[in-house]
């Protein structure tokens, strides 16, 4: 069988039930030491002094960078209390909440709401977008592109479906190509301002649907 660098063979003998708080306890929570590729794009998109919410923040240091370097008013939400405490220790306002819980809601408006590598984990991301839209001027998203060329080749030559999980196959519940996601945003009544592939092959921003591995989107809400 062919092997393509960057693809993973799923090991179904080692799948574990997902518990994000236990994950951080085992790993040890610590803010990342630098911004990831996608976060550098987000940082450049967000204007000085903006009010920003990062929903599903994890151990990202993006809000800390925005607060200290762009004077942004930042808040974080995460399902893991450990992640929330870690953000608070860094001086970021944060609270624990399950984005899929019916009781989850917002009470403040934001210039930008960030959902980075979050939507693919949700059963009904449409419900979350409908709930958040009244409170956002812009959304910032990033998703893995399921039409990435290595996934296509792996399925064609190896007969293996894409492996976008670490501990359990249910980590990702929704799959989009770049083209699918643009159509989905339009159906959510969101206007795409910019889209950029944060990583992938050399042609990633010429043919993003084929060569973009992870793609970032800046989308304006239609009031």
66-105 residue pLDDT tens: 999 999 999 999 999 999 999 999 999 999 999 999 888 8
| Within a domain: 157 | yes
| Within a domain: 159 | yes
Global pTM? 0.91
Domain count, the chain: 1
| Within a domain: 2 | no
Cα 37 from Cα 60, distance rounded (Å): 12
Other Cβ atoms within 10 Å of 114 Cβ, number: 28
Give the pLDDT band of residue 29 (cuts 50, 70, 90).
confident
Residue 5 in this model has a pLDDT that exceeds 60: no
The CA-based diameter of the chain, rounded to the nearest angstrom, is: 54
SS3 84: helix
| Within a domain: 12 | no
Calculate mean pLDDT across residues 187-198.
97
Between helices 37-45 and 62-69, what is the axis angle to 10°? 40
CATH of the domain at 43: 3.40.50.150
| Within a domain: 5 | no
Provide the residue range defining the domain that includes 32: 19-221
**Which one, of 197, 216, 17, lies nearest residue 116 by Cα?**
216
Tokens at residue 8, please? 């993973």
């Amino acid at each position: 069988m062919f092997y393509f660098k960057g693809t993973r063979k799923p090991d179904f003998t080692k799948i574990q039930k997902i518990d994000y708080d236990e994950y951080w306890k085992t790993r040890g929570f610590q803010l990342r030491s630098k911004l990831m590729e996608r976060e550098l794009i987000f940082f450049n998109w967000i204007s000085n002094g903006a009010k920003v919410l990062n929903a599903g923040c994890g151990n990202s240091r993006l809000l800390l960078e925005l607060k200290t370097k762009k004077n942004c008013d930042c808040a974080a939400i995460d399902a893991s209390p450990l992640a929330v405490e870690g953000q608070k220790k860094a001086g970021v306002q944060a609270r624990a909440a399950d984005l899929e819980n019916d009781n989850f809601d917002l009470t403040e408006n934001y210039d930008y709401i960030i959902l980075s590598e979050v939507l693919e984990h949700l059963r009904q991301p449409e419900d979350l977008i409908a709930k958040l839209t009244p409170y956002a001027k812009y959304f910032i998203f990033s998703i893995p592109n399921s039409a990435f060329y290595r996934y296509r080749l792996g399925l064609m030559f190896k007969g293996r479906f894409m492996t976008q999980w670490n501990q359990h196959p249910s980590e990702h519940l929704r799959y989009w190509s770049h083209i699918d996601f643009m159509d989905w945003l339009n159906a959510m009544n969101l206007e795409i301002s910019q889209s950029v592939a944060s990583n992938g092959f050399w042609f990633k921003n010429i043919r993003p649907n084929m060569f973009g591995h992870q793609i970032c989107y800046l989308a304006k809400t239609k009031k």
